[in-house]
Structures are given as structure tokens and as C-alpha cells.
Structure 1
Amino acid sequence: MRTEAARLFARALESRFHATLHGAEHLPRSGGALLVGNHAYFGMDAWVLTALLLLQCNVVPRFLGERNLWRIPIVKQFLTSVGAIPGKPDDAVALLEAGELVAVYPGGVDDSFKLSSQAYTLQWKNRAGFARVAMRAKVPIIPVAATGVDELYQIDEREPFIGRAFGGSSRYDLPLPKSLSPRRVPLDYYLLEPIDTSGDPNDEAAVERVRHATESAIRSILDPYRERLVHKTF
């Protein structure tokens, strides 16, 4: 992923999406860290974030994916080829303890498959597994707020057949974009101040503190952005 070919591809993504990375100074100079962010349609945002991190920080994160996606052979093959792994807590902790930069989207497909009317809302449903993982590994969480990503496609409905057949529930109903070509919208990625993850990962109150702090940090960017967007488009 750090070859010259990878860098050329990364530069193409950076240019095509007018993408900018803010707050690179918040990444630790050594040791592991957990990137936690909002997710967009079909993971397009993850590709661009990876490109920016490679070009500006010379690092490529390992992404934790929704485990059910590994049940679909072609998706499993693709995710594995780009270094993603199923979101198993023990595996995530091992990577972080080994000094890797790991990225996760707590909203999973709930975030990625949301409608345009839900743009820049976090569909996390109070999931706190990411907080517990970071606390176990004793690494900081770097909140990542991405703007522009929910405007790449206009999605007003989802289909109830194909995705549900593979995923087993309506969570996997595939979004139906009005166009297959993404809009030319500038993408901005904000790496925010690290979240302190000290505390007992078995203490629910401590875990909730970390979860809430992470979500609040991301919403501090997304909420005002969505408010401006609502007045413009909805």
C-alpha cells in the first residue's frame, strides 16, 4: 500500500475529491491509535481518508469491517486484499498493541447506508465496543469527522431485496443513488484531539465516558455542518 503505484492512486483520489486532511498533528508519533469516525455510502470516505494519511503521514490504517460482510465471497476477497479485517475485539486489540493505526466506524452499515435526509447524523445506536477496545489496548482514540462525504450521492430510497438476502435483515437494504457518478464536493477530514482512554474496560461507566467523549467530539463538527446543509437543501 505504500508503493509508488499506491501513491499515484492516492494523489488521484485526493485531486478528484478535492480532499483535505486537518489535524495530522494529533496522530501519535509512535505506538498505536484508534481512528473512530462517521461513515458514508459504500465506504467511499475510507478510501479517501487512506489516501490522505498515506500522502501526508506515510501511514496506512487497518480498517475493522462489519463481520457479516465477510460472509459475501467477493466482498470478503476485496476487503482482505486492502488489509481490512473483521471487527473482532481481540484482533483489534492485538493490532493496536503492536503499534498499528486502526480505523473503525461504529455505525457500520447503519451509517454507510443511511438516506440523504439523515446526512451527517451518527447512526451508532450507543455502540461502545470501540471504546472498550481502545481501553484494553491502552491507546488513544483519534476522532475523525468527515464533511462532504454524505453529499457525494443523493440517496432517497433503499431496495429491500439484494442486500437483505445477503445480510439477513433490513439493515442491509442497499441505498439507491440517483446517479452512479459521485458529485464533485470538497471532502474535509478533521483529526480531532485524542480522547483519553484510561480506565477499566470492564467498568461500564468508564467505557461510556470514552464513548460519549468520542461521539461528542465528532458531532461538534458534524452538527453545525448539517445545520447549514439543512437550510440549503432539505
Structure 2
Amino acid sequence: MFSIVYNLWLMVEDVIVQYIDLDFTLWLTWLLMPLLITFLLPLVIALLLYLTALMLYIYKLHRVKLRNAYGTAWRDTAVHMVAAVWDAHGWIWHGYEIVGLENIPQDKPVLFIYYHGALPVDIYYFTSKVFLYNSRLVRLVVDRFLFKIPGWSIFADILKIIPGTIQSCSAILKEGNMLAIAPGGVYEALFGDSYYELMWQKRMGFAKVALDAKVSIVPFFTKNLRESFRAVSWGRRIWLKIYAKTKLPLVPIFGGFPVKLVTYIGKPIPYDGNLTPEELQIKVADSLRDLIRKHQKVPGNITRALMERIRNTEKHKD
């Protein structure tokens, strides 16, 4: 038996020596490694999402025992767990911070409006930190295609995520909740670039929601969001045509770079019944653009954003 294995190994060794140039293989691996890492890192976020979903299913399965142990609803315990996981990820990988938490009205319904990155990791970190520090869940409006992804239903159920209509969003706010909407949506995510231009396509549904619910709007923007993840820019016309026909986010995403992320919360824009939806949309867009101009150097630069992360780490060590 040993002789058979040994002879088989000799044959494999001969093939490797004769047909594979190890020096070339090592060089090719070194050359392509950055490219492989760049496109594989987004899968880490997907893996984390599914691990979170798995933990939520475990909480759901053992909800009776958890309720007896903690004396509270199992959903509350599960939300605390999810918030802790994502807050830790944001702090470790991006040194995530929020500036302007005092701008969030306390004990009042709030409509958050934000810029949509290629992969909106900032909204995961933002909602987690707000929940952990204020014990208030920010409900999210997301694209309908997400509800077709296997495993997503548990997120929608526990974290109160909805596809959102004007009526349903208004009802949520009238109940005293906080709600977050990115007017640019998937279009802005896929076809935005490092210049951070708003791509709202005249969407003003959020303005109608705010006026109907009579709530203030709080804009926020996350610095270096586009340097964390980016959508590929080549073949833009083809991707645009595909998106126009399917409305599916098929544009490849790359990145996952540990750049410094800081969310800046702007001043609340109070309810004004004299404004039309069009006027309110312009007012909110101008406020969000002001945040971008004030805090983001354009065009965004991945190397610069990485250096900001390193400098911030060194500052905390000192």
C-alpha cells in the first residue's frame, strides 16, 4: 500500500516539474492577489450578514428559554445582539464614529435622509450605535429585491425593515418611530462615484412622507463611504441598460477596505407645512450636499482614506 502511494506521489511530482513553472505561478499569484482580495472582501460582509441571520434564527428557535432567562421579549434580546455585533465590526474594521448625535431629536419621530454608498455598511453601523446608545430602533426602507434573497425575511421581521410606501412610512412616523431613507436608492449605490453627487432622479416620496407625518428631517453623511466599497465603473452603459430593464443590482462591487468612516449628522430640518414636496426635497438635498462639501474631499481617494484610519489609530494609542 505504501509503495502504491509513493509511486503515485512520484508521478504527481513529475507532472508538476514538467508542466508547471513554480516561479511563474508564484509571480502570477502575487500579481493577482490584490485583485482577488478586492473582490473577495465584499463577501465578508455577506458572510457576516448570514451569520447574523443564523444567530437570529437561533434566538427565534429558543425564544421561550430566552424570555424566561432575560424576562423580556426575545426580539429585544436579538436586536441587542445584532446591534452589538455590527457596532463591534464598525469599530474594529473602520474605527467607525458618529459626530452630531445631539442633533437627533429625543423622544420624537424622526426621518433620517442619507447618501447611499455602493454597499451601505454605514447604515448598519449607524442604526446599531443609535440603538445601543439611545435604545431606539431606526427602521429602514430598502429596495424590494432584498426581500427575494434567502434568509432576508428574518432581518425584516426582527429589525422592522420594509420596502416602504408613502402611506406605510408615514404611519410608522406617526406612531413615534424613527425611519431612515436613502432617496438615491440602488441607482445611487451602483452608479454613484467618488465625487459623491446625489443621484435622486427627482424622487420626492420622502418629502411627501415628512409633510404628511409632520416630522422633522435629519440628514446624515458618512465620510469615505465610497472608499470602503465601490461599484465597477467599466461598462457603465451596459450596466445602466441592464438595470433599467431588470431593476436588479447586478453591477459587481469591490472593496471592503478598512478606511476611516465617520458619520456626520446634520441639523434637523423642522416641519414646515408651507413647503411643497418639491421645495422640501431641494432643501434637504442642499443640506446633505453641505455635509458632503464640508466633510468629504472629492474625488475620494482610497489611499488617503486608509491613511486617515492609520492616523486615527495612532492618535488613540497616544
**Category of TM-score, reference length = shorter chain:** 0.7 to 0.9
Query: Is 2:195 the partner of 1:125?
Result: no
Cα distance, 1:37 vs structure 2: 0.5
- Structure 2 runs not aligned, ≥5 long: 1-74, 305-318
Distance across 1 between alignment mates of 2:83 and 2:125: 12
Cα distance, 1:2 vs structure 2: 5.1
Distance across 2 between alignment mates of 1:7 and 1:214: 28
Cα distance, 1:168 vs structure 2: 6.4
Match of 2:115 in 1: 38
Matched-pair contact (CA < 8 Å) for 1:197–1:210: no
Query: Is 2:268 the partner of 1:194?
Result: yes
- Shift of the 78–219 alpha-carbon distance from structure 1 to 2, 3 Å rule, reads farther
Query: Is 2:291 the partner of 1:214?
Result: no
- Shift of the 121–85 alpha-carbon distance from structure 1 to 2, 3 Å rule, reads same
Amino acid in the other structure paired with 1:20: E
Match of 2:313 in 1: none
- Which one of 220, 223, 227 corresponds to residue 293 of structure 2? 223
Distance across 2 between alignment mates of 1:5 and 1:107: 30
Cα distance, 1:133 vs structure 2: 0.4
Amino acid in the other structure paired with 1:17: H
Of residues 130-139 and 168-177 in structure 1, the stretch that sits farther from structure 2 once superposed is 168-177
- Shift of the 111–228 alpha-carbon distance from structure 1 to 2, 3 Å rule, reads closer
Query: Is 2:135 the partner of 1:65?
Result: no
* Deviation digits for residues 181-232 of structure 1 (CA, Å, limit 9, x no counterpart): x1011111111111122215xxxx62222111111111112135243637x8
Match of 2:213 in 1: 137
Distance across 2 between alignment mates of 1:66 and 1:8: 25
Matches within 5 A, 1:83-232: 83-115=160-192, 117-157=193-233, 164=242, 169=245, 171-179=247-255, 182-199=256-273, 206-224=276-294, 225-227=296-298, 229=300
* Deviation digits for residues 86-117 of structure 1 (CA, Å, limit 9, x no counterpart): 121111011100000000000010112125x4
Q: CA RMSD in A?
A: 2.9
Amino acid in the other structure paired with 1:194: P
Amino acid in the other structure paired with 1:208: E
Distance across 1 between alignment mates of 2:247 and 2:169: 24
For residue 200 of structure 2, give the secondary structure of its aligned residue in structure 1: coil
Larger Rg: 2
Amino acid in the other structure paired with 1:153: F
Of residues 43-52 and 168-177 in structure 1, the stretch that sits farther from structure 2 once superposed is 168-177
Distance across 1 between alignment mates of 2:179 and 2:249: 27
- Shift of the 131–178 alpha-carbon distance from structure 1 to 2, 3 Å rule, reads closer
Match of 1:51 in 2: 128
Matched-pair contact (CA < 8 Å) for 2:97–2:261: yes
Distance across 2 between alignment mates of 1:134 and 1:68: 25
Matched-pair contact (CA < 8 Å) for 1:10–1:54: no
How many residue pairs were aligned? 222
Amino acid in the other structure paired with 1:53: V
Matched-pair contact (CA < 8 Å) for 2:219–2:268: yes
Amino acid in the other structure paired with 1:139: V
- Shift of the 171–122 alpha-carbon distance from structure 1 to 2, 3 Å rule, reads farther
Structure with the largest fraction of helix: 2
- Shift of the 135–75 alpha-carbon distance from structure 1 to 2, 3 Å rule, reads farther
Distance across 1 between alignment mates of 2:146 and 2:196: 23
- Shift of the 168–211 alpha-carbon distance from structure 1 to 2, 3 Å rule, reads closer
- Shift of the 194–37 alpha-carbon distance from structure 1 to 2, 3 Å rule, reads same
